[in-house]
Amino acid sequence: MKHTIKLFLSGLAIVAVSSCGRDANDPGIEYAPDMYVSKGYEPYSQLADVTRSITDENGKTWVINSDGKNMREPVKGTIARGQLDYVFPYAKTPEDYERAGAELKNPLAATEENLAEGKRLYEINCTPCHGTNGKGDGTIVQDGKYPPPPSYDSDRIKTTADGKMYFSITYGKNLMGSYASSLSPTERWQVIHYIRTLSGNAAAPADSTTVPKQ
Ligand code: HEC
């Protein structure tokens, strides 16, 4: 009996000594590693084997996750956090174009910063057609195949309300495409501030002065 205890104690001593000097970060032998490292599903991946079917007590079979998606579709109408600005409550109709013109105001001040950013974005996105000075003489127009857009210093654009411009930049207008996916709402308003400097009427245009108060 005494022998057994001695043996046990010397065994313990060996284990204690031999475990010294090991890498402190080494967890040693892990028992049931699944408990530490869970099998996570990648949110955007599609896994066929996550489809399951169960039969309820009435004998009806339900297929769970039939589309094999790990992440559920957001509920229809869901707005991503911080993207409320992207909601554009106007339909692409002539009536809503008028309504946008009457209701929407540029929420940004025409600060130097906003104008500089508006200029930068304008030069990247708009000059091919509208031209550097907004005269409607961009490179695409110069070979005569593309009808020139209206000059920004024409009466037509001068009297176009900011809200109408925002509507047209968002939806596009006839030959001009939509910039909704390339310019954020803030960027669209910055460009509009810059357009106003090109059209020589940085102040509110004529038809937005009759706006009903919201
Ligand atoms: C492919 C050529 C093209 C590009 C690029 C383009 N436009 Fe236009 N734009 C046009 C044409 C053409 C019109 C005239 C549309 C009409 O009234 O038929 C127009 C009209 C407009 C109008 C007047 C809209 C209205 O409601 O009457 C604004 C404002 C405008 N563009 C701003 C921009 C801005 C800002 C950009 C860059 C982000 C841009 N455009 C890029 C071709 C272009």
Indicate if ligand 1 lies below 6 Å from the C-beta of 151.
no
pLDDT at 128: 95
- Please state, for a pLDDT cut of 90, what percent of the chain lies above it: 51
Q: Which is more confidently placed, 38 or 206?
A: 38
- Cα–Cα separations (whole angstroms), residue 50 to 34, 47, 68, 150: 18, 6, 6, 56
The pLDDT score that the predictor gives to residue 209 is 41
* pLDDT of amino acid 205: 44
> Is the pLDDT assigned to residue 88 strictly greater than 90?
yes
CA angle 153, 132, 144 (to 5 degrees): 85
- What pLDDT, on the 0 to 100 scale, is given for residue 210? 39
Between 212 and 178, the higher pLDDT residue = 178
Does residue 101 contact residue 208 with C-beta atoms inside 8 Å? yes
Cβ of 68 less than 6 Å from ligand 1: no
Nearest CA residue ID for atom 40, ligand 1: 126
**Is the CB–ligand 1 distance for residue 125 below 6 Å?**
yes
Taking only the tens place, the pLDDT of each residue in 98-120 is 999 999 999 999 999 999 999 99
pLDDT number for residue 50: 65
Neighbour tally for 105: CB within 10 Å = 15
179 lines ligand 1 (CB under 6 A): yes
Ligand 1 in reach of 115 Cβ (< 6 A): no
